[in-house]
């Protein structure tokens, strides 16, 4: 019996009698982070990082929650469990599971670059590493954050000059907050969509400082929005909700914007490849630093990534999970996720 089994409800530790990010209701769920494909409704109890808790409350309402700090070990039915920063979004964690000297690490979603708000990704030595591979192809290599922030700021300033509103499309939970320091460096005039507003309030409540923003509403006129920045979740870019802004320009912030065709398909004026997932180099680095003897790759380009690892002397296999990717354009329309 392996320490972690891949069951039809999700990643399961039989010895510890708990599941990690289960996609069906279970008794004990350990949650890596608050995105909806990892934190699902219906379990009896949830264990998550302190900063994840208010976000789970926002998403799932009141439940039996228990919180834990990073690097704070607890024992569950004799299995040693600890949470470690994953750098994906506020509160996002990798989960380390140890029993009788064998160590497994479940990455959840992660990125290796420190974005200044999600906590710095920490590589953990282990025997088996279960890694995401959303962007597991070598075409995905991100520009460093300061450079891509510069691109976004230049774009905002250009729009301002032209008297246009800059509408930035970013996932409401995580990406939208990551953009705040970038945007607030060039303007105080920031509006947000209701979904972003809710996440914003929840995160403020958790004690994380964020700049002042205004909720887009009918109180404001086109004149108020001129030259301002609006942050809205994906899906908004093709809705009549945008009409209130008069003359505007749309910029989509997502790793998928790395490929030109995606930018054009979504009729965006600009695409910024700003992702909360590790790029190709990040994934390889992370895998190497764990020193794992065996790697399981999940969601994304897991087939290509595991084949590449195998060819480079790291034993790897792909695992099908039901995790999606909050950045994928498909996620907007509730389409089934691609299986590759």
Partner 1 sequence: MNQFAELVRVLGTSTKTNDKLDALANYFETANDKDKVWVIAIFSGRRPKRAVNSTQLATWCIELTGLPPWLFEESYHVVGDLAETIALLLPEDDLARASHSLHHYLETLLSIEKEHESIRKQFIVSAWKSMNRSERFVFNKLITGGFRIGISQKSMVNALAKSIKLDPSVIAHRISGNWDPVTTSYDELLSEQASAADHSKPYPFYLAYALEDEVSSLGDPVEWQAEWKWDGIRGQLIKRNNELFVWSRGEELMTEKFPEYATLRDILPNGIALDGEIIPSQNGRPLPFALLQTRIGRKNITKKQLIETPITFFAYDLLEKDGIDIRGSLLAERRVLLENIVKQVNHPALILSSLISYSTWDELSNLRKQSRNIGSEGIMLKRRNSSYQVGRKRGDWWKWKIDPLVIDAVMIYAQKGHGRRSNLYTDYTFAVRDGDKLISFTKAYSGLTDKEFAEVDSFVKRNSLEKFGPVRTVKPQLVFEIAFEGIAASNRHKSGVALRFPRINRWRKDKRPEEINTLEDLKKMLEIYGK
**Alpha helix segments (H runs only) across 226-312:** 260-265, 280-290, 302-311
The b/e string for 151-160 (b: 16+ C-beta within 10 A; e otherwise) is bbbebbeebb
Count the site residues for partner 1 by CB under 8 A.
29
Nearer to partner 1, 113 or 122 (CB): 113
265 binds partner 1 per the rule CB under 8 A = yes
Nearest approach, Cβ of 266 to partner 1 (angstroms)? 9
Contacts of 289 (CB under 8 A, 6+ apart): 123
Among 259, 285, 289, 322, binds partner 1 (CB under 8 A): 259
Stretch that binds partner 1, among 55-63, 72-80, 221-229, 267-275 (CB under 8 A): 267-275
Q: Tell me which residues in 301-340 interact with partner 1 (CB under 8 A).
A: 301, 304, 307-308, 311, 330, 333, 335-336, 338-339
The two tokens of residue 57 are: 């409350």
- Please return the burial class of 75, using the count of CB atoms within 10 Å of its CB with bins 0-12, 13-18 and 19+: exposed
Nearest approach, Cβ of 46 to partner 1 (angstroms)? 31
Among 146, 240, 261, 313, binds partner 1 (CB under 8 A): 261
Q: In this structure, what DSSP letter does residue 102 have?
A: E
The partner residues of 20 in beta bridges, in order of sequence, read 11, 30
20 in Cβ contact with 95 (< 8 Å): yes
215 binds partner 1 per the rule CB under 8 A = no
The two tokens of residue 32 are: 């890596």
DSSP helix/strand/coil, 311: helix
Nearest approach, Cβ of 16 to partner 1 (angstroms)? 34
Nearest approach, Cβ of 161 to partner 1 (angstroms)? 13
Q: Tell me which residues in 93-152 interact with partner 1 (CB under 8 A).
A: 137-141
Contact set with partner 1 (CB under 8 A): 137-141, 258-265, 267-271, 301, 304, 307-308, 311, 330, 333, 335-336, 338-339
């Amino acid at each position: 019996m392996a320490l972690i089994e891949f069951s039809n409800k999700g990643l399961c530790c039989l010895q510890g009698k708990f599941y990690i990010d289960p996609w069906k209701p279970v008794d004990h769920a350990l949650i890596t982070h608050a995105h909806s494909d990892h934190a699902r409704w219906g379990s009896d109890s949830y264990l998550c990082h302190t900063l994840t808790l208010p976000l789970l409350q926002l998403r799932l309402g009141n439940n039996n929650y228990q919180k834990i700090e990073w690097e704070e070990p607890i024992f569950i039915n004799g299995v040693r469990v600890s949470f470690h920063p994953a750098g994906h979004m506020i509160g996002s964690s990798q989960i380390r599971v140890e029993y009788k000297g064998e160590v497994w690490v479940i990455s959840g979603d992660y990125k290796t670059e420190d974005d200044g708000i999600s906590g710095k990704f920490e590589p953990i030595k282990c025997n088996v590493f279960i890694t995401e591979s959303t962007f597991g192809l070598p075409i995905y290599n991100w520009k460093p954050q300061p450079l891509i922030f510069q691109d976004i700021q230049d774009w905002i300033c250009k729009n301002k000059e032209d008297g246009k509103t800059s509408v930035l499309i970013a996932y409401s939970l995580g990406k939208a907050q990551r953009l705040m320091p970038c945007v607030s460096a060039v303007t105080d005039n920031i509006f947000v969509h209701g979904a972003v507003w809710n996440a914003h309030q929840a995160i403020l409540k958790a004690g994380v400082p964020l700049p002042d923003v205004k909720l887009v509403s009918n109180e404001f006129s086109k004149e108020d929005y001129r030259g301002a920045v609006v942050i809205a979740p994906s899906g908004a870019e093709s809705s009549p909700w945008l009409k209130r802004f008069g003359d505007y320009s749309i910029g989509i912030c997502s790793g998928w914007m790395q490929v030109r065709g995606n930018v054009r398909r979504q009729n965006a004026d600009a695409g910024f490849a700003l992702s909360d997932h590790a790029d190709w180099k990040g994934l390889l680095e992370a895998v190497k630093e764990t020193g794992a003897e065996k790697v399981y790759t999940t969601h994304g380009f897991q087939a290509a990534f595991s084949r590449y690892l195998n060819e480079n002397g790291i034993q790897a296999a792909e695992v099908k999970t039901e995790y999606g990717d909050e950045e994928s354009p498909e996620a907007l329309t509730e389409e089934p996720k691609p299986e590759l």
